[in-house]
Amino acid sequence: MYVQLSRDGAGMMLRRIAAIVAIWVGLVIISMPASAQDGPCAARLFDDARFTVCTIDPATHDIVLYTSDAQGRAYAGFSRLPQEREGAPLVFAMNAGMYHADLSPVGLHVEEGEQIKAINTRPGPGNFHMLPNGVFYMTGDTAGVATTEHFLARGIAPDLATQSGPMLVIDGALHPRFIRDSTSLRRRNGVCVGDSGAISFAISEQPVNFHHFARLFRDGLGCRNALYLDGTMSSLHAPALGRSDAIRPMGPIIAAYPRQR
């Protein structure tokens, strides 16, 4: 049976429906786990290309680098990583540097103060050896990105470090070998540390060249130094986005867990 309401009656009904919907949405948000509400990763559009940028505060997160488990088996992907650390859930992970066929790191690799692989200054082919390459490192709650040369000159003793290459941004300048109109397009990921000390990890959601990717870090994220981590197989684990890439086996992996207060 169709009942026609007066204008006032219809308005009152719409307001009641809106209130019920608002309460329901609020309950859904409250019932969501904190990681789903406050995940560190978000979509970013830069110069007509799509990226995902994950911002991690080292003052409030434990940041861990992984290669292999206690039995010496490479983790190879996100599914085998520890899903909790001291009761806190894994909220972010990303491939973190180049590796050999056996998934061992090509360059410097330090986990919780233990050096797994020494720094690599040998010449060679490929992106890793497109000099200058560099190091992402942490000492305590302080993170940084430096060229390999500057890292060695400073005598840094890191708690965590991964070496990769090439550097994307060096003291505010793009790597000198990058070409704006290069047709070498790849899915790529990298890292930088902003002036606030927060760490930004970025992954492209479509193929881009080095020049475009480097400008994201310098011009989009405001970083003076940024490091390339890898390409083609670049992968992201972001539970709050319902995402866990499984493109191919990977070597070093970096992960973050909220620090329990």
CB 148 within 8 A of CB 179: no
Is residue 188 within 8 A of residue 151, CB to CB? The reply is no
Q: Residue 253's beta-bridge partner residues?
A: 66, 95
SS3 of 91-123:
CEEEECCCECCCCCECCCEEECCEEEECCCCCC
Tokens representing residue 137 in the block: 């490192």
Q: Is residue 37's pLDDT more than 90?
A: no
Angle at 111 between CA 215 and CA 153, to 5 degrees: 60
pLDDT band at 260 (very low <50, low <70, confident <90, very high): confident
Q: What is the pLDDT of residues 206-249, one digit of tens each?
A: 999 999 999 999 999 999 999 999 999 999 999 999 999 999 99
Cα–Cα dist 96/109, whole Å: 10
Query: In terms of pTM, does the model score above 0.75?
Result: yes
pLDDT digits (tens, 9 = 90+) for 250-259: 999 999 999 9
| Whether residue 5 has pLDDT greater than 90 | no
